[in-house]
Amino acid sequence: MRITLALVLACAGYTFLSTPAQASFCKPHHTCSTTYYSDATRTEVIGRYTVDCHGTVHETGTRSEYSTYNSYICGPAAE
C-alpha cells in the first residue's frame, strides 16, 4: 500500500512539474511566451502560449513537450 501511494504521489508530482506552463510564471510588467514545436529539432511551430504586458493570455495551436520560453520587459507604451 505504501509503495502504491508513493508511486501515485511521484507520478502526480512529475505531471505537475512537467506540464508546459512556463508562461504562467510571467513576472509583472513582462510579456512571456512559450513556443511549442512538433519534435526535438524545434523547426516546426505547432502552438504558442503568451501572457502579454496586461496579463492577458493568448493561446494558439497545441502544446508539446518540445518548447522554448522567452520573457521580455514591457516598455512604457505598454502600461
Distance CA 68, CA 33 (A): 8
Question: How big, in percent rounded to 5, are the helix, strand and coil portions of the chain?
Answer: 30, 35, 35
Tens digits of residue pLDDT in 9-66: 555 444 344 444 443 578 888 999 999 999 999 999 999 999 999 889 999 999 999 9
pLDDT score, position 77? 58
Distance CA 38, CA 17 (A): 20
